[in-house]
Amino acid sequence: MRIAVPNKGRLHDPTLELLDRAGIGVENGAERQLYADTVDPEITVLYARAADIPEYVADGAADLGVTGLDQVRESGADGVADLLDLDYGKCRLVLAAPEDGDITEPADLEGKTVATEFPRITREYFAEASVSPEVVEVTGATELTPHVEMADAIVDITSTGTTLRVNRLAVVDEVLESSVRLFGREDVLEDPKVEQVRTALRSVLDADGKRYLMLNAPEENLDAVEDVIPGLGGPTVLDVDEPGMVAVHAVVAERDVFEAVNDLKAEGASGILVTEIERLVE
């Protein structure tokens, strides 16, 4: 099983960290290396430009790929399935124009010029809106093009909107909401290894923001304890040697831990232990 991952940039480190937490850590990785083994002898990681990964998967050089939804949509690669939202690298592809200009909706760009690094997505967007601007592909500094009279508007990636504001551009419309995804070639989706990889990655995502809570509580107060920590499908209750007491284990949201601990102590709970969860398979 070959997994293509970004070779550099803002997606590189988070992707390798996620693979490591999922038990697919890279071994003997080095800069400028084209591929690397993982701790799973059946999985190899291929390093590629984020924009090239959809083609790696579509052409069979890799079976799975990790890259942004925007890159997959822009590539137009056929036979590539979206398997899992990995919940990082979030951004928006937006239509923006000078904030003091007269372009306030997509229709205002009929017959005008739009600059972008995403010509395929941009053309598809305007086709759906039945608007026909001239789409000009640029390779950088897209936000400058309206100010040097190269374009009337742009379609560009934004995370916080700061770059747009600095360049006196206002968002006219959202074109695409993107995040990093796990993609797979459609003809390998029945391979059990694909589901193993997806389950491993999803178990890390499901564990984020959760904690494992263990405690002893009076059996007579069990109903009240269960109200405090309902857990996933209810807490697990175990007998202990101490008469009248039970052990209670539950998965709770990290944000609820502080209040839950105080409420549990009020119900007579003791020996409360809170631990991190590395992976959670539901």
Query: pLDDT per residue over 95-140, tens digit each?
Result: 999 998 999 999 999 999 999 999 999 999 999 999 999 999 998 8
Whether 205 contacts 279, CB under 8 Å = no
Nearest to 5 by CA among 85, 66, 83, 62: 66
Structure-token pair, residue 188: 């390998």
Query: pLDDT per residue over 168-217, tens digit each?
Result: 999 999 999 999 999 999 999 999 999 999 999 999 999 999 999 999 99
pLDDT band at residue 29 using 50, 70 and 90 as cut-offs? low
What DSSP letter does each residue of 148-211 carry, written as one string?
A: GTS-SEEEEEESSSHHHHHTTEEEEEEEEEE-EEEEEEGGGTTSHHHHHHHHHHHHHHHHTTEE
Quick check: do 2-89+179-206 and 209-276 share a fold? Answer: no
| 281 pLDDT above the threshold of 70 | yes
Dihedral of the alpha carbons of 8, 94, 53, 282, in degrees to the nearest 10:
90
Structure-token pair, residue 92: 């928006």
Query: pLDDT per residue over 225-266, tens digit each?
Result: 989 887 666 788 999 988 999 999 999 999 999 999 999 999
Structure-token pair, residue 167: 């360049």
Domain parsing of the chain, residue ranges: 2-89+179-206, 91-178, 209-276
State the amino acid at position 100 in one-letter form.
Answer: D
What's the DSSP call for residue 244? T
Whether 73 contacts 85, CB under 8 Å = no
- Note every long-range contact of 82-85, with CB atoms under 8 Å and residues 24 or more positions apart, other chains counting: 82/181, 82/182, 82/183, 83/181, 83/182, 83/183, 83/184, 83/189, 83/194, 83/198, 84/181, 84/182, 84/198, 84/201, 84/202, 84/205, 85/179, 85/180, 85/181
Average pLDDT, the chain: 93
pLDDT on residue 115: 97
**Rounded to 5°, angle at Cα 280 from 276 and 282:** 145
Nearest to 212 by CA among 247, 245, 185: 247
- CATH T-level topology, domain 2-89+179-206: D-Maltodextrin-Binding Protein; domain 2 (3.40.190)
The helix or strand, by DSSP H or E, that contains position 28, with its residue range, turns out to be: none
Q: Cβ neighbours of residue 83 under 8 Å, at least 6 residues apart?
A: 64, 181, 182, 183, 184, 189, 194, 198
pLDDT band at residue 141 using 50, 70 and 90 as cut-offs? confident
Inter-CA distances, 159 with 94, 122, 175, 178, Å: 10, 18, 13, 10
Query: Which 3 state secondary structure label does DSSP give 15?
Result: helix
Which class in CATH covers the domain with range 209-276? alpha beta
Q: Which CATH number fits domain 91-178: 3.30.1390.20, 1.20.120.420, 3.40.50.10420, 3.40.190.10?
A: 3.40.190.10
Structure-token pair, residue 201: 């990655």
Structure-token pair, residue 126: 């305007």
